[in-house]
Amino acid sequence: MEYEIKGGSFPIVICTLQQGETMKNETGAMAFMTSNMKMDTNTGGGLLKGLGRALAGDTIFLNFFTAQSDNEKVGFSACTPGKIMPIRLNGSNTIIGQKNAFLAAEDSVDVDIYFKQKLGAGLFGGEGFVLQKFTGNGIVFLEIDGEVIEKDLQPGEKLLVDPGHIAAMEETVDFDIERVKGAKNILFGEGLFFSKLTGPGKVWIQTMPISKLAEAIIPFIPTSHSD
Where do the domains of the chain lie, and which CATH numbers do they carry?
A: 2-216 (3.60.160.10)
- Give me the pLDDT at residue 170, please: 96
Nearest CA among 160, 155, 153 for reference residue 203: 153
Residue 128, pLDDT score: 45
pLDDT for the residue numbered 173: 94
Q: How confident is the model at residue 23 (pLDDT cuts 50, 70, 90)?
A: very high
* pLDDT of 59 over the 90 cut: no
- What mean pLDDT is reported for the chain? 82
Confidence band for 121, pLDDT divided at 50, 70 and 90:
very low
pLDDT at 95 over 60: yes
Q: What integer is the mean pLDDT of 147-161?
A: 95
Q: How many angstroms separate the CA atoms of 75 and 3, rounded?
A: 9
User: Residue range 76-81: average pLDDT?
Assistant: 90
What do you get for the CA distance between the two ends of the chain, in Å?
58
Mean pLDDT of 37-50: 73
More confident residue, 176 or 178: 176
> Which residues have a Cβ under 8 Å from the Cβ of 32 and sit 6 or more positions away?
73, 74, 75
The answer to whether the CB of 210 falls within 8 A of the CB of 177 is: no
Q: What whole-number distance in Å separates Cα of residue 124 and Cα of residue 121? A: 8
Q: What is the pTM of this model?
A: 0.82
Question: Is the model more confident about 43 or about 127?
Answer: 43
Least confident span in 107-116, 132-141, 175-184: 175-184
Q: Is residue 14 predicted with pLDDT exceeding 50?
A: yes
